[in-house]
Amino acid sequence: MTPNVRGLPSTRSVKIRISLRRAVPEFIVTDEIKLGQILKNLIDNALKFAPSDTDVLVCISSLGETRLLFQISDHGEGIPTDKIPFLFQPFHPIDEGLGGMGLGLYISKLYASSLGGDLMLAKSDKKGTTFLFLIDTQCQANPIVQTLIH
């Protein structure tokens, strides 16, 4: 699984590493728009706050047959402790100087919940930040072809 990361900032030398763990199914049934938006928001934030010449790590693990766990980690300076209580509330950006309206984490948490899961801050300290999110899925043996009629 490769997240859609087009349009993310690439002015610094920060690499995205993807690790698949615990028998992640090749195909799943979920809302790809919501899943893609969650990944884009979290990876975009990690890239913004990661120092140059470091990695952003995206780990995906299977938790049984119907749940996936995503872990997005960076090596930035962490989230200021006074911002943590407001992380998932709208219009509370982590760093006003970097732009953004403070909606990405709020929307991502709503989307994770609508996919039967949750989004949470797992760790934030001087060595970096890690977000986790879970979603419910259905495994699929073959890809489902979607046809859109316009």
> Which distant-in-sequence residues (6+ apart) come within 8 Å of 38 by Cβ?
70, 108, 111, 112, 119, 133
Q: Of 14, 28, 13, 11, whose CA–CA distance to 72 is shortest?
A: 14
Q: What pLDDT was estimated at residue 141?
A: 67
pLDDT band at 3 (very low <50, low <70, confident <90, very high): very low
Return the CATH number of 15-140, one of 3.40.1160.10, 3.30.565.10, 3.40.50.300, 3.40.50.12170.
3.30.565.10
Q: What pLDDT was estimated at residue 132?
A: 98
Asked whether the predicted pLDDT for residue 97 surpasses 90, the reply is no
The arithmetic mean of pLDDT across residues 85-101, rounded, is 88
pLDDT digits (tens, 9 = 90+) for 5-37: 545 555 569 999 999 987 888 888 999 999 999
CB 84 within 8 A of CB 124: yes
Mean pLDDT taken over the chain: 87
pLDDT digits (tens, 9 = 90+) for 62-78: 998 889 999 999 999 99
Domain coordinates in residue numbering, the chain:
15-140
Query: CA dist 69 to 39, 44, 57, 64, 66, Å?
Result: 12, 18, 13, 10, 10
